[in-house]
Amino acid sequence: MSFLNLYQTEDGIIWLISNYILYSYDSENNNIIPFPITLSYKNSMFEDSSGIIWIGTSSKGVFSFDRVKKKFTLYNHNPDDIFSIGGNLVQCVYEDRSGNLWVGARLTGINKWNKYKWKFNSVEYDPKGNSALLNNDIYSIYEDENHQLWLGTNSRITVLDSESFLLKNRHNKFNALKRLEKEQISCIIGDPANKNIIWISTLDAGLFKYDTKRGLIQQFKCVLKDSLTLSDSLVTSLAHLGENYLFIGTFSGLDLLNKKTNKLTKFKRKIDD
């Protein structure tokens, strides 16, 4: 059995997707429960502040799962409904500080979920007009301290005002981000020790540390035959370990960055070990 996705909710339950089926695993009682829902090949999972689990799929749209009512609800694109989700290939789900849910999709931009009216508002890139987005392929979403959404796409970062949908990248303070205009942005996260720092991973150029206050950007990448650099410049995921360490998931292994010293520790394990 192969697992395509793992996610742990606040109550400690681990959620797994295998062979297009959703399972929950209660480690305390050693109990695995399958759910009567068929998913797609690539899925993303997210638990919102009310305990609802959202499951983005690569072809069907996004499911919500109310664990109290044990009810699944599917939201997919309906060309006859302007308030339906913009597209069915969902790559990420994110909840901002105001409780708004954002759904990033491939080729169809970003969607804001109105939980009171049960409808989506979609924002897409328009190459012919004054578009709020710089790209329609959304890989990752992050909200900073100023309630600005940072959207990682397949060719750059879009910084968007979460209320007005106004594009923020045109401001001079974001000039350093021009360095990332041709990069695929896989993950964006803040820093628990410094609200001015944003960490950005890419699928080809490694990891970037961006100081929003000073407008400075620092790159960490793989240099062949240099053991002090990243294991690989293809970085897929980021996660903090306390305030001083950052886990970096790469194509060639897991690295741990000491943010104070910039020293890297590498965790590699051969399959036959």
How would DSSP label each residue in 89-154? -EEEEEE-TTS-EEEEESSS-EEEEETTTTEEEEE---TTTT-S-S-S-EEEEEE-TTSEEEEEES
3-state SS string for 174-216 = HHHHHHHCCCCEEEEEECCCCCCEEEEEECCCCEEEEECCCCE
**pLDDT for residue 53:** 94
Mean pLDDT across the chain: 86
Question: Residue 124 and residue 132: Cα distance in Å, rounded?
Answer: 7
* Angstrom distance (rounded) from CA 154 to CA 159: 14
Task: Report which of 182, 232, 231, 238 is spatially closest to residue 209, judged by C-alpha positions.
Answer: 238
| Residue 251, pLDDT score | 87
Q: Which residues of 242-268 are buried (b: 16+ CB within 10 A; e: fewer)?
A: eeeebebbbeeebbebebeeeebebee
Tell me the backbone φ, ψ of residue 68, rounded to 5 degrees: -70, -45
Q: For residue 128, which amino acid is it?
A: K
Distances, alpha carbon 132 to alpha carbons 90, 148, 151, 165, 222, in Å: 19, 13, 11, 6, 34
Distance CA 158, CA 171 (A): 12
Which stretch of 36-40, 151-155, 224-228 has the lowest confidence by average pLDDT? 36-40
Of 133, 167, 171, the closest CA to residue 152 belongs to 133
Question: Contact 234/197 with Cβ under 8 angstroms?
Answer: no
How large is the average pLDDT for residues 231-248? 90
C-alpha to C-alpha distance for 22 and 244, rounded to whole angstroms: 35
What tens digit of pLDDT does each residue of 165-203 get?
A: 777 776 556 778 888 988 999 999 999 999 999 999 999
Would you say residue 61 has pLDDT above 70?
A: yes
Contact 219, 206 (CB under 8 A): yes
